[in-house]
Amino acid sequence: MSDTLRIGIDLGSRKAKFALMRGNEIVRLADLDTIAFYKKYGSIVNDELSLDLLGSGIFSAEELAEAQITVTGYGRNSINLHGARVISEIKAHVAGARTQTGLADFTLLDMGGQDTKVAQVVAGRLTDFVMNDKCAASSGRYLENMAAVLEVSLDELSSHAEEPVALDATCGIFGESELIGQILRGYPVSRLCAGVNLTLVKRVMPMLKRFPSDTLVITGGVALNSAMVNLLRAQCGMEIVIPKHPQHNGAIGCAVNP
């Protein structure tokens, strides 16, 4: 790979992620809340998204002058970032997973703030993929909502996998009502947290079964949920690999994409 300086930007629904790379070497990673980032540094000019990357303090003037910029993420189909190349989310995440793991054959599970993607990669090439973007019930937003109902942090939610309470609602909104009902039955918070994590596993398993593989690479912010990962490991039968920077995987993929 060339040692050209590249900037990758993944404009996610919850977080805007940034990667500055030279070749395969990560120079800098950063992230900001998407809405706050847009409010402070974004505007629409001639139907294009304009971002004040210099004003954000993430990159220097010299880096912005030298670097090639590639962007992906939420809004990619309707908003073009001025001065940047736009690629699909799935292309970015596959490139990021390959770069971070060195693997050429794997199934990719990317769990973001509002959607979930599963892709099959064979000999380093994307062969097929499926997305669940109609409902946030199998995404990070579901975990945020359930944590709020339980009045626990995401870190606390992510630490419980033992004796999960059954939660069967397939809709995120109905899931909240079901969880409240289980709270009223007196189940301890630890078991309710485990139930929430297991519910997420149940929702992604049908997608994973479409693309069997020896190795499952998990990316996105939900990959940081260790309890969910352990529950998934017990059910999927695949070796699970989590890259060093799962939440910045899409931005890294943009930065390494030729």
Q: To 10 degrees, what angle do helices 172-184 and 140-150 make?
A: 30
Write down the residue that tokens 């690479």 correspond to.
217
Burial 193-207 (b: 16+ CB within 10 A, else e): bbbbbbbbbbbbeeb
pLDDT tens, position by position, 101-129: 999 999 999 988 778 899 999 999 999 99
- Pick from 155, 172, 161: which is nearest to 221 by CA? 155
Amino acid at 240: I
Contacts of 145 (CB under 8 A, 6+ apart): 172, 175, 176
Q: How confident is the model at residue 77 (pLDDT cuts 50, 70, 90)?
A: very low
pLDDT at 257: 80
pLDDT at 135: 57
What gap in Å lies between CA 248 and CA 246, rounded to an integer? 6
Q: What average pLDDT does range 7-16 have in this prediction? A: 91
**Which strands make up the sheet holding 116-122, listed edge to edge?**
125-132, 116-122, 106-111, 215-219, 239-241
In terms of average pLDDT, the best of 43-52, 59-68, 83-92 is 59-68
Region of poorest pLDDT, from 171-185, 215-229, 232-246: 171-185
Radius of gyration of the chain (CA): 19
pLDDT at 76: 47
Q: What average pLDDT does range 12-17 have in this prediction? A: 88
Element (H, E) at 74: none
pLDDT tens, position by position, 152-209: 999 999 999 999 998 876 665 667 788 888 899 999 999 999 999 998 898 899 999 9
> Which SS3 state, helix, strand or coil, does residue 212 take?
coil
Q: pTM of this prediction?
A: 0.89
- pLDDT greater at residue 65 or residue 140: 65
